[in-house]
Amino acid sequence: QQQVKQSPQSLIVQKGGISIINCAYENTAFDYFPWYQQFPGKGPALLIAIRPDVSEKKEGRFTISFNKSAKQFSLHIMDSQPGDSATYFCAASKYNQGAQKLVFGQGTRLTINP
């Protein structure tokens, strides 16, 4: 059972365009929703994150939009650059006994064409 569903699986955007990746979750107990960026041969690295009491969070060109009632959240990358080409993972988690159990989406391979 996939608790976090992510789409699209792959995305091609022109330089300067807006990249949008969507995720939906099922478990209402989740209390933390991060996005991770992964380059080939590297581990995932935190890009931006949001808690469910906030509907939007913006950090530079990256924005998370969060819809608690619909149990959906999305990542928007404004003015997309070739250096943004990577695999992006949404995740959801609940903090328990000192551990953050992240449940990841399936990933989106983003390619920004110059």
Partner 1 sequence: DTAVSQTPKYLVTQMGNDKSIKCEQNLGHDTMYWYKQDSKKFLKIMFSYNNKELIINETVPNRFSPKSPDKAHLNLHINSLELGDSAVYFCASSPTSGRGNGELFFGEGSRLTVL
| Contact residues for partner 1, defined by CB under 8 A | 31-32, 34, 38, 41-46, 49, 87, 89, 93, 95-104, 106-107, 109
Provide the phi-psi class of 16: left if phi over 0, else alpha when psi is between -120 and 50, else beta. Answer: left
Is the Cβ of residue 74 or residue 104 nearer to partner 1 in the bound state? 104
Q: What span, in angstroms and rounded, lies between the C-alpha atoms of 24 and 7?
A: 9
Of the candidates 113, 1, 89, the one whose C-alpha atom is nearest the C-alpha of residue 39 is 89
Q: Which is nearer to partner 1, 41 or 60 (CB)?
A: 41
Nearer to partner 1, 74 or 93 (CB): 93
Least distance to partner 1 from the beta carbon of 51, Å? 8
**Least distance to partner 1 from the beta carbon of 83, Å?**
19
Regarding beta strands 108-113 and 10-14, do their DSSP bridges make them parallel or antiparallel, or are they unpaired?
parallel
